[in-house]
Structures are given as structure tokens and as C-alpha cells.
Amino acid sequence: MSDKPKLAMYWASSCGGCEIALLNIHEMILDVDAVFDFMFCPCLLDTKKSDIEALEDKAITLTLFNGAIRTTENEEMAHLMRRKSEVLVAFGSCAHEGCIPGLANLHKPEDFLKCIYVDNPTVDNPESTYPLPEYDMPEGTLTIPEFYERVSTLGQVTDVDYYIPGCPPEPHQIRAVLQTIINGDDLPPKGSVIGAGRSIVCDECARTRGVKKISRLYRTYEIKPDPEVCLLEQGIICMGIATRSGCDAPCPEANMPCTGCYGSPEGAHDQGARMAAALGSIVEIDARGLGEEEIKKRFKEIFDRIPDYAGTFYRYSMAASIIKARRK
């Protein structure tokens, strides 16, 4: 093994998009290879867990850990990579705030297993057979990781040095962070969100903003939006007002609303609550001559057009929110 600083990347409960995002830094990957010994990444390399266990503690200079913590294996690897790394980065929305896997916290694990192994229309399982935690074979006992009751973020199970948000992180932000490390520049205080801005997506969006007052909400297929005007002002729920900047607003630029993947803005502790508050402050109706019940009815009709509150306001941040999971 070379004397170069060691770089590792690991995935837990994730989709693999973060690995693709790393490759999307294009030719800079050659600079990364020149500076680092890229020595562990299950998606790209054949290094084994035993190889990592054999390293001295803190032998890895930088680990980019993506994925939420769903299973005992995920948590075991989180602790292992923490022990073996000088700098551990929660890389991407899943590790940062739970992302899509975090929405599983609204249901019980047995509901998912039944959906996957019994109710799925493409599964032929008349005996309702489920995976067993352990199975005895002539060669020994096979085990699979335990499925936790709740999805956690990386920072909820181990000590994290930095957070890079995004689903996945934008390549220009990855390049900026890696260049800082390659140059040996000072990093911000431990616990900082890096590879992102300090404002909101709206401040990066080129659309014209006026007075935000809306009387109806639309789903994206119900309206052809004006490409020059703020999507939220046109009645399309755009999470940009409640999402950290740093992505350069590619979704609104493509005439699609921001869905919130860069997570809570600086100073906000609950992305969904911030969005709900913002939306509540801009929705208005003509209440002249209406009684209290009729006013309530009008507002209910507007907000009933949101088909999935949790999936809209907490799509990327449920596991890190104040709520965190379904309440009984």
C-alpha cells in the first residue's frame, strides 16, 4: 500500500447515487487519484471489510460515508469507519438527514417486509415465507443484519466531523471540498455543513420573485408554469424557500420545483416545519363575508391538494427532524 493519504467511501442504506456523484467530478478524479490512495469503496473496489479492520486506527485520512443507518451492519460499519478515519464526512442527504430511507420511520418494519415479500404483485410467495435472521447450514450458521425499528442519520449513531448535503451532492461542491483538502487549506469548525451555501435555494434561483400570495395549489402535471416566474407564486410547492443553498437551483432552472434535497437551511432545525410555516403565511383567500367554518373549509380545500404532507415537507429530512418517526 502506498504512503499517500488514504481515501475511503462507504455506502449504508443508500442508492449508489453518491458514488456516481463522486465520478461526476470528471477529470478531477485524476487529481484525487494522484493525491490519495483510494483504498475502500464497495461500489467501485474489491477491498474487504477485513482489510479495513486490519488497519491501525485513524489510518484513513478521509472517509466519505453515504447512506442512512437502517440495519445493524450499517451501524457496525459506521463505527468501524469512524474508528479508522481521521476525518469522517456524512456524504449526501441519506447520511446527513436520512433522505428517502428516513420516510420508512412512518411505518413499522413488519409492514415493509409484508409489502416486499408477500403483497408485492411481482412476488410469488403463497406460503408467506420471510427471511430468517439465522439459518443453519452444514457449513455453519448464516446470518443477515438486523432490521432496526427506525432509520437514523450517521450523526445519530457516531461522531461526524463534517456534513455534505445533497441527493446527491453537486459535483462542483464535491470538487471544492476535495480541492480544499488537497491544498491543505484550513477546514471549518468540526460539525459544520460544507459543500453547501449558507442561504436558501431561492437566493440562487434566477426566477422573478414578487409578492408571494397564492389561493390555489397545483401539482406539477396540472399547470404549465411560466419559466420566468417563481414556481411557488404560481401555486406549485417548491421547497426552495426552506432548503439550504449550494446546488445552484438546477431544478427550478429546468422548470421543476425544488424538492429539498440540500436539507434544512442554516439556523433551521426542522425543514418540514419551516416549509409548512412559509406556506401558511402566503396562502390567502377572500374571507369577506365568510363565517369561521367556511374560512376553515376554504383553507382545507387548498391544503387537501397536497397528497402527501410527510413526503412533500420531509422527503429528505424525516430522520433528522423534530418528529423523527411516527408517533403512536
* Side-chain-side CA neighbours of residue 95 (13 Å): 34
Q: What is the pLDDT of residue 288?
A: 77
- Please give the model's pTM, rounded to 2 decimal places: 0.92
Give the pLDDT score at 198: 93
Amino acid occupying residue 196:
A
| Grid cell listed for 314 | 420531509
Q: Retrieve residue 316's grid coordinates.
A: 429528505
Q: Nine-digit cell at 318?
A: 424525516
Res. 34 pLDDT band, cuts 50 70 90: very high
Please tell me the least confidently modeled range out of 2-6, 40-44, 186-190, 205-209.
2-6
Sign of CA dihedral 83, 86, 90, 91: negative
Mean pLDDT across 211-233: 92
Which three three-digit cell numbers place residue 286?
377572500
Record the cell numbers describing residue 321, joined without a space: 427532524
- Angle at the Cα of 204 (from 253 to 304), degrees rounded to 5? 65
CA–CA gap between residue 153 and residue 155 (Å, rounded): 5
β-pairing, 147-152 with 69-71?
antiparallel
Give the three-state DSSP class for 117: helix
Spatial contact of 85 and 60, defined as CB atoms under 8 Å apart: yes
For residue 244 the three cell numbers come to 439550504
- Name residue 236's beta-bridge partners: 218
Give the mean model confidence (pLDDT) for residues 85-95. Answer: 98
* Residue spans per domain, the chain: 1-196, 201-320
Q: Mean of the pLDDT values across residues 228-239?
A: 96
* pLDDT for residue 63: 98
Q: Which helix (H) or strand (E) covers residue 8, if one does?
A: strand 6-11
CA 235 → CA 114, 123, 212, 305, distances in Å? 37, 40, 10, 11
Cα distances from 95 to residues 4, 248, 304, in angstroms, run: 27, 21, 32
Q: What is the pLDDT of residue 291?
A: 85
At residue 1 the predicted structure's pLDDT band, cuts being 50, 70 and 90, is low
Class of domain 1-196: alpha beta
Say which residue the cell 445493524 belongs to: 72
